[in-house]
Amino acid sequence: MIQILEDGAVYVLVPLVYLLGVAAAVHALFHVRTPQGSVAWALALGLVPWIALPAYLVFGRRHFSLYVRALRRARLLTEDERTELSAPVRALLDRHTVAAATEEPLRRLAGTPIVTGHRARLLVDGEATYDALLDRIGAAERRVHFQFFTIHSDEVGERFGRALTHAAERGVEVRVLYDEVGSRGLSGAWVAGLRRAGAEVSSFGRRGQSWGRSYVNFRNHRKLVVVDGRVAFVGGHNVGDEYLGRSPALRPWRDTHLELEGPSVVELELVFAQDWFFARGELLDLPVAATAAGSVEALPLPTGPFGPHPSCELVAGWLVERARRRLWWATPYFVPTPGIVLALRLAALRGVDVRILLPRQSDHLLSTLAAFAALHELADSPIRFFRRREGFSHQKVVLVDDDLATVGSANLDSRSLLLNLELGVLLRSGTIVEDVERMLRRDLEASVEVTDEYARLPLHVRFGARIARTFAPVL
């Protein structure tokens, strides 16, 4: 009897799986971003649905629709219940708005204009970044919002755990948000200690929720700290010992962060509030505390896969198109989308000094292999590539001409451009852009120019590079 039931289940299950595969294949033909991807998914789903269906559920989505719906809900709540905050925020930004038609696409993407009135400071490498963060957390009076892709339970993680615990114990509102995938090694003891002190801790991923596995391909890669609503930190550092160069395989570790004071801190804290709302369903009360602090013009750039075209790729394309004299781009991973490859090639052909700064060592084998193939695609272009002579460079910094720079969390790879939630700050005018230029010049002096590395690789490594390049969007 049991055997009959099992045989009957097989007769039902096999056609059902193939039927679901066909349905998913039709969905892929209409929704996958590229024609090549559509055909590849459709063939796999039709021929081997047992394998392709689970993969498509995880990697086939191109829009983080659940997050979009949460933000729409948050905006409705803000309009209905917290209109008293919108007027001060609008007034603060309006007072310092800088009209610039050339930056209109960025204003539309960010939802806010470029504003002046900022003080900005580059934080070069881990010691400077962590010291500045710990000093600000130690002096916090009202609230600390602390968000990172990766938090480790190592010595650096414990230092920040103690600082946040002490802040919570003296009555400061402390909220910690981390990505569940990026911080999968974070210990329960670290989280429990903060909660005992009164801090609120949440993961972006809500373990155990029904949507979690199907949306795991979308990661919150942002690094953001806001203290008292007056000062914000964004950049490349996460929380861990390796960011101080303590990993023998990756030392010395090169990275860059930004400390910002001024009107845009309001917008940056709203980015945290949106992510917190998605993770916890809690709408934060954020009294406006930021004031003008200098003369730097700034624009926060929160990006992600929220619409018909990922906003991070649009921002990257705009930066390339904006360049007239030079475009220097420091990134740990170089696996750009076809659109960005084309934009970089055209920029170099119109005479822009395009330089890509890459690390010598790597912390991600597949991304390194894919980068070899990507560099080979551009070997015949005037684009110049540089690798640091030693160690690992994790910074994500762009310099455009003499008047524009960005510091943030986005890599120049398909995952950041298409899938991740990222955060950066565009800086214009002031000495801060000069500081970025001086910093990148020092990085170039510590680097060596490379040509077509791919051509010198063994055959099996070149084969691996081509395979890795094919799977670039999910690396």
Query: Domain boundaries in the chain?
Result: 2-59, 65-296, 311-474
- The pLDDT-based confidence of 316 (bands split at 50, 70, 90) is very high
Mean pLDDT of the chain: 85
pLDDT at 83 over 70: no
- The pLDDT-based confidence of 85 (bands split at 50, 70, 90) is very low
Dihedrals phi, psi of 355, to nearest 5 degrees: -130, 130
pLDDT at 426 over 90: yes
pLDDT tens column, 101-126: 567 788 788 777 889 999 999 999 99
- The pLDDT-based confidence of 81 (bands split at 50, 70, 90) is very low
pLDDT at 336: 94
Kindly report the pTM of this predicted structure: 0.86
- Which tops the pLDDT comparison, 139 or 452? 139
pLDDT at 239 over 60: yes
Q: Would you please indicate which residues are annotated as catalytic (active-site) residues?
A: 221, 223, 228, 394, 396, 401
* Residue found by looking up tokens 């289940």 in the block: 9
Give percent above pLDDT 70 in the chain.
78
Weakest mean pLDDT among 60-69, 77-86, 198-207, 461-470: 77-86
- The pLDDT-based confidence of 19 (bands split at 50, 70, 90) is confident
Mean pLDDT of 462-474: 75
pLDDT at 87: 56
pLDDT at 170: 97
pLDDT at 80 over 50: no
pLDDT at 29: 65
Structure tokens at 381: 């272009």
Classify domain 311-474 by CATH number: 3.30.870.10
pLDDT at 472 over 80: no
Mean pLDDT of 398-409: 97
Mean pLDDT of 66-89: 51
pLDDT at 176: 98
pLDDT at 207 over 60: no
Mean pLDDT of 467-474: 70
Which CATH number does the domain 65-296 belong to among 3.30.870.10, 3.40.190.150, 3.20.20.370, 2.60.120.620?
A: 3.30.870.10
Q: Nearest-5° angle of CA 393, CA 399, CA 404? A: 145
Structure tokens at 447: 């680097």
* Residue found by looking up tokens 């991807």 in the block: 37
Q: Do domains 65-296 and 311-474 have the same CATH topology?
A: yes
Mean pLDDT of 48-71: 66
pLDDT at 434: 96
pLDDT at 5: 39
- Which tops the pLDDT comparison, 363 or 45? 363
pLDDT at 467 over 70: yes
pLDDT at 247 over 70: yes
pLDDT at 111: 76
Weakest mean pLDDT among 55-59, 377-381, 415-419: 55-59
- The pLDDT-based confidence of 100 (bands split at 50, 70, 90) is low
**Which of 7-16, 279-288, 323-332 tops mean pLDDT?**
323-332
* Residue found by looking up tokens 């905006």 in the block: 75
Mean pLDDT of 204-214: 54
pLDDT at 355: 98
pLDDT tens column, 337-389: 999 999 999 999 999 999 999 999 888 888 888 888 888 889 999 999 999 99
pLDDT at 63 over 70: no
Mean pLDDT of 284-293: 82
Give percent above pLDDT 90 in the chain.
55
pLDDT at 330: 99
Weakest mean pLDDT among 206-220, 229-243, 300-314: 206-220
pLDDT at 33: 63
Nearest-angstrom CA–CA distance, 395 and 256? 5
Residue 68 C-alpha from the chain's centroid: 17
Residue 375's alpha-carbon distances to 370, 381, 460, in angstroms, are: 9, 10, 17
pLDDT at 429: 79
Torsion, CA 390, CA 396, CA 402, CA 403, rounded to 10: -160
- The pLDDT-based confidence of 298 (bands split at 50, 70, 90) is very high
